[in-house]
Copies of this chain bind each other. A is one copy, B any other.
Amino acid sequence: MANKGALYLIPTTLGDTAETADVIPVKVNQLINTIDEYIVENEKSARHYLKKIGIQKPLQEIILHPLNQHTETKNISAYLNAIEKGKNIGIISEAGCPGIADPGAEVVKLAHEKNITVCPLVGPSSILLALIASGFNGQSFAFSGYLPKERNERIKKIKELEKTAQQKNQTQLFIETPYRNMHLLEDMLITCDAKTLLCIACDITLPTEFIKTKTISDWKKQLPAINKRPAIFLIYK
């Protein structure tokens, strides 16, 4: 029986203006040329990325399997068949490391059930980079994803996160759809204690990167221009 292949978690840049050499280790460039089959969140951006990182094979020879929230488990399972036959497969998400805030985790879960080796590769994670650049507690932290869209619910959640930050001495990380960043920020400024520390980490790894930690009362004096820019918010007491 042939040896099984492996499932590689391929990182991508956090936006098109980032140079791959700045954020992607050379190993990933090399590996790209040994894999013919990918499970991808977005076919167009995956093709664009493979070209950008210097794939040597013609793109027509590469198989891309689409993966989104509507992809059924039986289809994902079929994607992994090639691994049983000895091929390596890569997962490429829309931005950053697969499996953090995208459907990639479902593929990895299934791979473990099939006893397939999963190989995570180093690449940019806006959550991790924001955490280390915030100066907040890195021994205890929690990421909560998107906050509720409805305003009262959102304010309630902000209060809850601030309380948890203090009670557990735990850094709280969360995100918002970029065009709603200013709404979230305004809600935080009226909801949180004046002394609570807020770090805003915006356009991480891009030429326009902006990362700043201040107290709520200091943020109130000057609002940052984060509208429509991808951002991570972190609070800590």
Contact = CB atoms under 8 A, between A and B. Distances in A.
Interface of A: 9, 19, 21-27, 97-102, 104-112, 117-120, 122-125, 127-146, 170, 199, 204-205, 209, 211-214
A122 B24 CA distance: 8
A168 B222 CA distance: 35
Nearest to A22: B27
A134 B98 CA distance: 11
10 contacts: A25-B25, A97-B132, A99-B135, A105-B136, A105-B138, A111-B135, A118-B211, A122-B129, A128-B128, A142-B142
Q: Which of A23, A134, A142, A212 has the most CB of B within 10 A?
A: A142
Nearest to A109: B135
Given A109-B213, A141-B142, A142-B142, 12 more contacts: A21-B26, A21-B27, A23-B25, A24-B25, A24-B122, A99-B132, A104-B132, A105-B132, A112-B213, A117-B211, A120-B132, A122-B124
A199 B112 CA distance: 10
A122 B23 contact: yes
A211 to B, nearest CB: 6
Copies in the complex: 2
B112 A120 contact: no
A132 B21 contact: no
B138 A101 contact: yes
Contacts of A140: 142-145
A128 B25 contact: no
Given A22-B27, A122-B124, A133-B118, A138 B99 contact: yes
A148 B124 CA distance: 31
Contacts of A129: 120, 122
Contacts of A118: 133, 135, 211
A105 B24 contact: no
A141 B143 contact: yes
A209 B6 CA distance: 13
A211 B9 CA distance: 13
Nearest to A20: B25
A142 B19 CA distance: 30
